[in-house]
Structure 1
Amino acid sequence: MPDALPESPEDLTARRAASFGANAAAYAAERPDYPIAAVRWVLDRLEGRPARVLDLGAGTGKLTGVLAAAGIPAEAITAVEPDPAMLDELRRAHPGVTALEGAAEEIPLPDGSVDAVLIGQAMHWFDLDRAYPEIHRVLAPGGVMGGLWNRDDSAVPWVAEMKRIARSGFPVARGRPRGLPEHPLFPNVEQTEFPHVQPRTAESMAATIGTHSHVLIMDGPERDVLLGRIVDHLRATPETAEGEFDLPLITLTLRAVAA
């Protein structure tokens, strides 16, 4: 039997993008949320008018919860997510929010029906040639698009070493980089960063890394070895050896008003 053909970058990206649903409960339990300040910074572009907000690629509702904490009423929030298992977790956590199955490339909402589209940790998976026009379509005139990405603060030495271990032996390529180029429908993209933290233990930090797509697609024994190395590193590091510690995060945030 001939050897299997090597997996193409496109197929690998698609497999990683589809890996979350089978682990939706772990994603809901272990992934960080976002700073309220980042959400408010995006919505400031609405200049104080009431906001109907779409959480696009909403996953298990990490950003949905921050929208609610920022003062957006549940009835003004719609969450759209393509994976049914992720959507089930969102509905359990946020029963008052309208939650719809759908994708960024085909949003199940009428034209001009929202004032803001916010996207947490998901835009790099979108087919932007199709998603940008759809986002623009559902936005009311003067509406704003915002993207948020949490990343570990690698300026902290123990974090940098943890990330090196987590990436060892696997090419951690993405479908799109975090941070996006301007588009004619969304000119004048603004970008800033917000500090954030997530309380973790050695074990829960390893569990968080276990929800990353490049780890989810590993074989079970290989994944166990990798996560064990993460725990060993954290237990050997003074800042993280005993009990709970704060994982330092930086939340890259962009916003752009629809043309």
Structure 2
Amino acid sequence: MVRVEQDARAVLASSFGSAASAYAEHRPDYAPAAVRWALEAGGGRRVLDLGAGTGKLTGTLVALDVDVVAVEPDPAMVAELRRVLPGVRALAGSAEAIPLPDASVDVVVAGNALHWFDMAVAGPEIARVLAPGGVLAGLWNVLDDRVDWVEALEQVAGSAAIGPRDTLGNWRAATAGLHLPDAGVAARFGSPEQAEFPHGQRRTAESLVATLATRAGVLVLPEQRRRATLGRIRDFLTARPETGSGEFTLPLLTGVLRVRPV
């Protein structure tokens, strides 16, 4: 059963490269206040963006004027990151095999990526590259389902488009244990600190459909089900007064979890 779950996670985690350009165009960035909070306990400016994708978090880090290196396993995502942020050092690699020396960064951040890591392997690797006093911080953009129409959208869209980590309650549950599979690995890190920050993304009905189309659960759907899911979402958005006419702000929260190796 565990192997089946691991295989399913691997399929989902590897799905984004096929939509790298759409991901870069439509996924939201991260609340700057959340990123500052993630960094402030690290005691330095050397930051590793791990599982960087197309650079959504990397761009916010650059704007905060830190020394950032991005590591991403998918070649298509790396190529898109290099196109969008040509001044950033971007390396092919993974959380389980980080191509950096020991104690070479002050903070490791992961934007909507920590849940894909095999922390039994990645945990020691992250601890290896962190300098003494360093911090690991996971960030997640989640839909703010305290807003009525967002809660209704989640019900209409279903788990493939929204996913179990995209509601605030499930984000808290998913991050509470840092996704660590056993106490031996969990003991490498101290108790987590959590915070959340308001965020938003300007969207239209059509561009929000395009955003949800980049979710892993949608990317791996058979084409007929994928079209049906996105059509159902489009119908909902065009019928709602909040989203049916022109641009609107999609209510988001950027949630952060940060821990220190021990």
Give your verdict on TM over 0.5.
yes
| Pairwise CA RMSD | 2.0
Structure 1 unaligned regions, length at least 5:
1-6
Rounded to whole Å, the distance in 2 between the matches of 1:118 and 1:173 is: 21
> Would the aligned equivalents of 1:206 and 1:227 in 2 still touch at CA under 8 Å?
yes
Rounded to whole Å, the distance in 2 between the matches of 1:130 and 1:251 is: 26
Bigger radius of gyration: 1
Matches within 5 A, 1:1-259: 8-47=4-43, 50-72=44-66, 76-167=67-158, 172=163, 178-181=174-177, 183-259=186-262
Rounded to whole Å, the distance in 1 between the matches of 2:246 and 2:28 is: 18
TM value normalised by structure 1 = 0.90
Structure 2 unaligned regions, length at least 5:
166-170, 179-185
Rounded to whole Å, the distance in 2 between the matches of 1:163 and 1:232 is: 14
Post-superposition Cα deviations, 1:75-120, rounded to whole Å, max 9, x if no partner, equal x211000000000000011111111010101101000111110100
Post-superposition offset of 1:70:
1.6
Post-superposition offset of 1:211:
0.5
Post-superposition offset of 1:248:
0.3
Seq. identity, %: 53
Higher helix share: 2
Q: 1:168 to 1:108 in 2, by over 3 A?
A: closer
Q: What amino acid is aligned across from residue 71 of structure 1 in structure 2?
A: D
Q: Which runs of 4+ in 1 moved over 4 A?
A: 168-174
Rounded to whole Å, the distance in 2 between the matches of 1:63 and 1:125 is: 16
Rounded to whole Å, the distance in 2 between the matches of 1:232 and 1:160 is: 16
Aligned length: 247
Post-superposition Cα deviations, 1:131-173, rounded to whole Å, max 9, x if no partner, equal 1110010011111111100110111121112111221689956
> Would the aligned equivalents of 1:45 and 1:257 in 2 still touch at CA under 8 Å?
no
TM value normalised by structure 2 = 0.89
Q: 1:200 to 1:13 in 2, by over 3 A?
A: same
Q: 1:10 to 1:258 in 2, by over 3 A?
A: closer
